[in-house]
Homo-oligomer: A and B are copies of this chain.
Amino acid sequence: MATTPAPPYLAVIFTNRQAPGNRIEYDHAASRMVELAQTIDGYLGIEAVRSADGTGITVSYWRDHAAIERWRSHPEHLDAQAKGRSNWYAWYELRVATVERASSYVQPA
Protein backbone atom coordinates (compact mmCIF):
# COMPACT_ATOMS: atom_id res chain seq x y z
CA MET A 1 0.00 0.00 0.00
CA ALA A 2 1.35 3.43 -0.89
CA THR A 3 1.15 5.88 2.01
CA THR A 4 -0.07 9.02 0.30
CA PRO A 5 -0.90 12.45 1.78
CA ALA A 6 -4.41 13.90 1.92
CA PRO A 7 -5.85 14.54 -1.58
CA PRO A 8 -5.62 16.18 -3.99
CA TYR A 9 -2.63 14.57 -5.68
CA LEU A 10 -2.16 12.80 -9.00
CA ALA A 11 -2.27 9.14 -9.98
CA VAL A 12 -0.80 7.55 -13.10
CA ILE A 13 -2.68 4.32 -13.79
CA PHE A 14 -0.64 2.04 -16.05
CA THR A 15 -2.53 -1.09 -17.14
CA ASN A 16 -0.58 -3.49 -19.33
CA ARG A 17 -0.10 -6.97 -20.73
CA GLN A 18 3.39 -8.39 -21.06
CA ALA A 19 4.46 -9.68 -24.45
CA PRO A 20 5.63 -13.33 -24.41
CA GLY A 21 9.28 -13.83 -23.39
CA ASN A 22 11.70 -11.18 -22.09
CA ARG A 23 10.46 -11.88 -18.57
CA ILE A 24 13.78 -11.68 -16.71
CA GLU A 25 14.91 -8.54 -18.54
CA TYR A 26 11.50 -7.00 -17.92
CA ASP A 27 11.43 -7.82 -14.20
CA HIS A 28 14.88 -6.32 -13.77
CA ALA A 29 13.91 -3.13 -15.60
CA ALA A 30 10.61 -2.86 -13.70
CA SER A 31 12.42 -3.04 -10.34
CA ARG A 32 14.89 -0.44 -11.54
CA MET A 33 12.06 1.89 -12.63
CA VAL A 34 10.46 1.62 -9.18
CA GLU A 35 13.81 2.59 -7.62
CA LEU A 36 14.26 5.45 -10.07
CA ALA A 37 10.74 6.86 -9.58
CA GLN A 38 11.48 7.25 -5.87
CA THR A 39 14.31 9.65 -6.66
CA ILE A 40 12.05 12.07 -8.57
CA ASP A 41 11.00 15.26 -6.76
CA GLY A 42 7.24 15.04 -6.17
CA TYR A 43 7.05 11.21 -6.08
CA LEU A 44 4.49 10.09 -3.47
CA GLY A 45 4.29 6.32 -3.82
CA ILE A 46 3.73 3.34 -6.09
CA GLU A 47 1.56 0.21 -6.12
CA ALA A 48 2.21 -2.58 -8.60
CA VAL A 49 0.48 -5.92 -9.07
CA ARG A 50 0.99 -8.53 -11.79
CA SER A 51 -1.11 -11.64 -12.21
CA ALA A 52 0.11 -15.01 -13.42
CA ASP A 53 -1.43 -14.38 -16.88
CA GLY A 54 0.91 -11.40 -17.47
CA THR A 55 -1.61 -8.61 -16.90
CA GLY A 56 -0.32 -5.84 -14.68
CA ILE A 57 -1.57 -2.67 -13.06
CA THR A 58 0.91 -0.14 -11.69
CA VAL A 59 -0.41 3.00 -10.03
CA SER A 60 2.13 5.69 -9.17
CA TYR A 61 1.26 8.78 -7.15
CA TRP A 62 2.65 12.28 -7.68
CA ARG A 63 2.40 15.71 -6.09
CA ASP A 64 1.65 17.63 -9.30
CA HIS A 65 1.90 17.55 -13.10
CA ALA A 66 5.47 18.91 -13.01
CA ALA A 67 6.55 15.84 -11.03
CA ILE A 68 4.92 13.51 -13.59
CA GLU A 69 6.68 15.42 -16.37
CA ARG A 70 10.05 14.98 -14.60
CA TRP A 71 9.35 11.26 -14.36
CA ARG A 72 8.05 10.93 -17.92
CA SER A 73 11.10 12.67 -19.38
CA HIS A 74 13.88 11.14 -17.25
CA PRO A 75 16.46 9.74 -19.75
CA GLU A 76 16.61 6.29 -18.18
CA HIS A 77 12.82 6.13 -18.09
CA LEU A 78 12.61 7.25 -21.74
CA ASP A 79 14.89 4.30 -22.63
CA ALA A 80 12.63 1.94 -20.70
CA GLN A 81 9.53 3.37 -22.39
CA ALA A 82 11.06 2.70 -25.81
CA LYS A 83 11.95 -0.89 -24.83
CA GLY A 84 8.48 -1.28 -23.37
CA ARG A 85 6.94 -0.51 -26.74
CA SER A 86 9.43 -2.51 -28.84
CA ASN A 87 9.85 -5.55 -26.57
CA TRP A 88 7.97 -5.85 -23.33
CA TYR A 89 4.32 -4.98 -23.75
CA ALA A 90 1.66 -6.52 -25.97
CA TRP A 91 -0.46 -3.49 -25.04
CA TYR A 92 -0.79 -0.85 -22.38
CA GLU A 93 -3.12 1.93 -21.37
CA LEU A 94 -1.88 4.97 -19.44
CA ARG A 95 -4.25 7.28 -17.57
CA VAL A 96 -3.42 10.43 -15.61
CA ALA A 97 -5.95 11.28 -12.90
CA THR A 98 -6.45 13.66 -9.99
CA VAL A 99 -7.24 11.82 -6.75
CA GLU A 100 -10.02 13.69 -4.98
CA ARG A 101 -10.78 11.49 -2.01
CA ALA A 102 -9.25 8.48 -0.34
CA SER A 103 -10.13 6.14 2.50
CA SER A 104 -8.45 3.11 3.94
CA TYR A 105 -9.23 0.13 6.13
CA VAL A 106 -7.04 -2.17 8.18
CA GLN A 107 -8.52 -5.31 9.74
CA PRO A 108 -8.27 -5.17 13.54
CA ALA A 109 -5.65 -7.56 14.92
Interface residues of A (CB under 8 A from B): 1-2, 4, 7, 11, 13, 15, 17, 19, 47, 49-52, 55-57, 59, 85, 89-107
Contact = CB atoms under 8 A, between A and B. Distances in A.
B11 A13 contact: yes
A97 B99 contact: yes
Contacts of A97: 11, 97-100
Contact of A98 (B98, B103, B105, B106): B98
A85 B106 CA distance: 8
Contact of A92 (B52, B94, B96, B105): B105
Contacts of A4: 95
The 9 closest A-B pairs by CB, nearest first: A97-B97, A57-B57, A97-B99, A93-B104, A91-B106, A95-B102, A49-B57, A49-B49, A49-B51
28 contacts: A1-B15, A1-B93, A2-B15, A7-B95, A11-B11, A11-B97, A13-B13, A15-B47, A15-B59, A49-B49, A49-B51, A49-B57, A52-B52, A85-B105, A90-B106, A90-B107, A91-B107, A92-B104, A93-B103, A94-B102, A94-B103, A95-B101, A95-B102, A96-B100, A96-B101, A96-B102, A97-B98, A97-B100
